[in-house]
Chains A and B, each alone.
Chain A
Amino acid sequence: MNMMVVTRKTEEAAGTVAGDGLTEAVNPMVAFEDVSKRFAAGRTSAEVTALDGVGLTVPRGSVTGIIGRSGAGKSTLIRLVNGLEKPSSGRVVVDGVNIAELDEKKLRDVRRSIGMIFQHFNLLSSRTAFDNIALPLEIAGIDRQTIEKRVTPLLDLVGLSDKRNRYPSELSGGQKQRIGIARALATEPKLLLSDEATSALDPETTRSILALLKTINKELGLTVLLITHEMEVIKTIADHVAVIDGGCIVEQGPTFDVFTGHTHATTRSLLGGLAGLHLPEFLTRQMVEKPEPGLRTILRIIFKGENATEPMLARLGSDLGIEVNIMAGAVDEIAGRPFGMLVVSLLADQEKIIQARSFLADHGLSSEVVGYVR
């Protein structure tokens, strides 16, 4: 049931990415169908459930992010896509093929069409940058001349042509990840899996790696599935997001909708760093839950996209005669669209508050009463 809602949402989004919305949604790059994964825990017969009834679609051509805390099941989930792990039940369909059904030989062929990058880069220390990128091609049995022809432009693409003969120990973290990306692209995959690829990098390097991933997604039309615990990563490049907690997908859909809807508690707590979601301490300290005459109402106003709030606030005063105080606010950008939040206090009776909120709603601003203060 959850699946159907998701499919409808992704349909619209995929349409904007790659034209024919309907076929995109019917034939996603990756689809998890009621997937569960249990691990034997040590020597006892007890099992640990890593994933529980996961349904997930990764639209073709999208950058889809899966965010969750450590231990939420992200790593297991991404490893099911290229068969490094097998599901205990359910189907993992990649480009129309159920990964769980393949034997080792067929699985190896499929893996060549799925690139993967890692948190700790996983480059061979004994190979130069060039030879690391060449490794998947050697494994595929491609001759040396063709390898040369493929690797050189990849070094160009990631901007490291001058590091061709350097060993990983001579490269910085960001450079290592660029080599990792080039290596993942060597076999010309249709899907790129990113396992916390920027978690070991500083913020600036993270931005440059994310920009590179976005470029690859746009220019090569490569679908990217990434897992991360960093909200920043999702906000910057993911057009679709799934929130995972305790082995279950608790929310998924276009990033902007999920983040600005922020209905689920896990999403909310992960969004912690996002502008204006946390109320300032001085407010929470004196806030009460029940309205009383003489108390000011604290309202959180959320504006998405290009809605302007300021004239609306002014009109609350002029049209409805409500005194508005701005307590906190911030503007952020999610998936390239502005998203902001304003916390205001209103001195008015409950009837006026209801009028104010419907006035805001009429102008495309959603609001929420968070409490009352003196």
Chain B
Amino acid sequence: MSADIFALLVKSTGQTLYMVAVAGLIGSLFGIPLGVFLATSGRGELFPAPSVNKILGLIVNAARSTPFIILVVAIIPFTRMIAGTSIGTTAAIVPLTIATIPFIARLVESAIREVDPGLTEAARAMGASPVQIVFKVLLAEARPGITSALTLTIVSLIGYSAMVGAVGGGGLGDLGIRYGYQRFMPDVMAIVVVVLIVLVQLVQSAGDRLARQFDKRIRPR
């Protein structure tokens, strides 16, 4: 492997990490509250707003069923508005973030729905406000689940980021396609795949360890 290719590999890995980190961060910033809201705004729940809940649910479903590559192209005008350009790594973060928000929201929603309703009832009986219940009970108890959700999100983001080469986003996936596939360099392809596997492994095991640490439901041995 030539020094050039190695430099490309380092640069692409950096781009992937950059895209995943920023999209993951901003995605969580919007996705977690959205997930909390989806889980608590049904009829008779903490913040009852059934019609808003239904509409948001529909939007989330629509966003999640749109193939990512179509989403990337479809929101180009929006991307240009936010990032100033529709091409490049920074621009690629916009569709990645947009795809991440509903993804995280659904995962967080289900993590929160798994919290025993008895705990919410106990907190209400103590005189807790709905906001206190969210922070002191729901988020605290769902922390292992939310950690797993974020781990899964990052792993999926690493996969999605391979597609943003289509808009000049760069990254490892793009390197694999352009050099490994289009220029017939199977060794580059192999290295890209190996780096991706290592990345995913690292993220997954770190996430699992964190989730285990947060989870006090199981008796520690």
Q: Check A138 for interface membership: any CB of B closer than 8 A.
A: yes
Q: Which residue of A lies closest to B141 (CB)?
A: A126
A135 close to B217 (CB less than 8 A): no
B214 close to A126 (CB less than 8 A): yes
Interface range, A side: 20 to 34
Q: Check A41 for interface membership: any CB of B closer than 8 A.
A: no
Q: Check B143 for interface membership: any CB of A closer than 8 A.
A: yes
Provide the residues of chain A in CB contact with B206, threshold 8 Å.
Answer: none
Q: Check A246 for interface membership: any CB of B closer than 8 A.
A: no
Among residues 76 to 95 in chain A, which have CB atoms less than 8 Å away from a CB atom of chain B? 82, 84
Give bound CA distance, A167 to B132, whole Å.
21
Provide the residues of chain A in CB contact with B54, threshold 8 Å.
Answer: none
B129 close to A125 (CB less than 8 A): no
Provide the residues of chain B in CB contact with A125, threshold 8 Å.
Answer: 141, 216-217
Q: Contact string, B114-150, partner A, CB cutoff 8 A, digits 1/0?
A: 0010110111111111001000110011010000000
Give bound CA distance, A225 to B128, whole Å.
21
Provide the residues of chain A in CB contact with B137, threshold 8 Å.
Answer: 124
Q: Contact string, A189-215, partner B, CB cutoff 8 A, digits 1/0?
A: 000010000000000000000000000
A108 close to B119 (CB less than 8 A): no
Among residues 97 to 143 in chain A, which have CB atoms less than 8 Å away from a CB atom of chain B? 107-112, 114, 116, 118, 120, 122, 124-127, 135-136, 138-140
B122 close to A116 (CB less than 8 A): yes
Provide the residues of chain A in CB contact with B125, threshold 8 Å.
Answer: 82, 84, 111, 114, 116, 193
Q: Which residue of A lies closest to B124 (CB)?
A: A84
A169 close to B216 (CB less than 8 A): yes
Most buried by A among B123, B127, B141: B127
Q: Check A223 for interface membership: any CB of B closer than 8 A.
A: no
Provide the residues of chain B in CB contact with A136, threshold 8 Å.
Answer: 126-127
Provide the residues of chain B in CB contact with A114, threshold 8 Å.
Answer: 125
Provide the residues of chain B in CB contact with A193, threshold 8 Å.
Answer: 125
Give bound CA distance, A138 to B132, whole Å.
10
Among residues 201 to 221 in chain B, which have CB atoms less than 8 Å away from a CB atom of chain A? 214, 216-220
Q: Check A187 for interface membership: any CB of B closer than 8 A.
A: yes
Interface SS, A side: mixed
Query: Taking A122-B121, A124-B141 as contacts, is the C-beta distance between A112 and B126 under 8 angstroms?
Result: yes
Q: Which residue of A lies closest to B118 (CB)?
A: A122
Provide the residues of chain B in CB contact with A82, threshold 8 Å.
Answer: 125
- The count of residues in chain B whose C-beta lies closer than 8 Å to any C-beta of chain A is 24
**In the complex, how many angstroms separate the beta carbon of A144 from the nearest chain B beta carbon?**
15
Contact of B127 among A111, A126, A168, A170 (CB under 8 A): A111
A139 close to B217 (CB less than 8 A): no
Q: Which residue of A lies closest to B122 (CB)?
A: A122
Contact of A84 among B121, B216, B220 (CB under 8 A): B121
Query: Taking A126-B214, A167-B216 as contacts, is the C-beta distance between A139 and B126 under 8 angstroms?
Result: yes
**In the complex, how many angstroms separate the beta carbon of B182 from the nearest chain A beta carbon?**
50
A108 close to B127 (CB less than 8 A): yes
**In the complex, how many angstroms separate the beta carbon of A45 from the nearest chain B beta carbon?**
16
Query: Taking A124-B137, A126-B143, A170-B219 as contacts, is the C-beta distance between A139 and B127 under 8 angstroms?
Result: yes
Q: Which residue of B lies closest to A141 (CB)?
A: B132
Give bound CA distance, A183 to B119, whole Å.
13
A118 close to B118 (CB less than 8 A): yes
Provide the residues of chain B in CB contact with A111, threshold 8 Å.
Answer: 124-127
Provide the residues of chain A in CB contact with B121, threshold 8 Å.
Answer: 84, 118, 122
B218 close to A169 (CB less than 8 A): yes
**In the complex, how many angstroms separate the beta carbon of B116 from the nearest chain A beta carbon?**
7
Provide the residues of chain B in CB contact with A122, threshold 8 Å.
Answer: 116, 118-119, 121-122
**In the complex, how many angstroms separate the beta carbon of A193 from the nearest chain B beta carbon?**
8
Provide the residues of chain A in CB contact with B218, threshold 8 Å.
Answer: 169
**In the complex, how many angstroms separate the beta carbon of A290 from the nearest chain B beta carbon?**
55
A126 close to B216 (CB less than 8 A): yes
Query: Taking A124-B137, A125-B216, A169-B217 as contacts, is the C-beta distance between A118 and B126 under 8 angstroms?
Result: no
Give bound CA distance, A158 to B218, whole Å.
24
**In the complex, how many angstroms separate the beta carbon of B22 from the nearest chain A beta carbon?**
29
B136 close to A135 (CB less than 8 A): yes
B140 close to A124 (CB less than 8 A): yes
Contacts A/B (CB < 8 Å), 27 sampled: A84-B124, A108-B128, A109-B127, A111-B124, A111-B125, A116-B125, A118-B118, A118-B122, A120-B116, A124-B119, A124-B137, A124-B141, A125-B141, A126-B141, A126-B214, A135-B123, A136-B127, A139-B123, A139-B126, A139-B128, A139-B132, A139-B136, A169-B217, A169-B218, A169-B219, A170-B219, A193-B125
* 7 more CB-based (< 8 A) A-B contacts, given A84-B121, A125-B217, A168-B216: A109-B127, A112-B126, A112-B127, A122-B118, A127-B140, A170-B219, A193-B125
Listed from nearest, the 7 A-B pairs whose CB atoms lie closest are: A111-B127, A122-B122, A136-B126, A108-B127, A167-B216, A116-B125, A112-B127
